[in-house]
Structure 1
């Protein structure tokens, strides 16, 4: 399949892949710095938030997921061909497993960048020590569901506009209070899932060509 992308959409994928790879390596700083930049807060705030999440200690590296994203990132440019087709300036050829991988990464990215921090704990692995310890599993449960043990403090550092919201609260994806990166990623997710796309940015909706050999 081929995906037709605008320059902004193409650049977003390039921008997203490395921080998400680092996230799966249990390194939160690159993604949190991206969030800080999106919401115009100090970079050192991102490092403080990352230190809090690391200190909680309920996440572990997910090497297989990190390796998959690394492979996609390293071949992304080679999969793209420059074109001039209306608003679209790149066509990117993807195999079905790559489509699924990109859709899942963009979905997690979009949700985290809009403030849904529980997703971070959902997509990373759990340390072996926690899996075998009921008390530690209860701690993980409280962090994931309720933002306890300073998880909400970390979220509030990154997303001060939703400080007064609960752990699972926040602005909807269509809100201009949500960073454009999150909204643009949401639109790409819907395209890659072949679902209806609610326009939440001014960018044209990306397009999929299912059988390019028939063109």
Structure 2
């Protein structure tokens, strides 16, 4: 005969045994007279149901390529392209002569105006040089021996005719202007 080892239960388990419920119904206390027997019954493995596929099995997994819905076939697209190209070429040849005539007129107008615009630019340049010269004369009128356009009476260029125009340096051209005007027009000399 085998002897079963009697293990005393902690008070925590003993106090919890009375409040344990099995799936919503009270245990049969007449069957579990002994609390130790009740505890060992609680710790037995629960009954469970194996998760199985539904009857007939699972449906197949779709893995094949689903092509996009096409509205036109390849031949229809090629025919549409050729038709649109023919229509566009017809409209181009209807308007080609008038567009070319307009472009020719605009080119002739720009060729006619360009020399006049250059002459106006050169005239404004010479007027500013004259203003600079007059400003220098007014500024240096009290300096003894100063002659405008020279360095105290000495000509700056010996080999040039005194009546020829020598373009001043860019900073010298704007010498009597504000620094803001000088920087505003800074890139203009690179454009012409």
- TM bucket (normalised to shorter chain) is under 0.3
TM-score w.r.t. the length of structure 1 is 0.20
Structure with greater proportional strand content: 1
Higher relative contact order (CA 8 A, sep 6+): 1
| Larger-Rg structure | 2
Structure with greater proportional helix content: 1
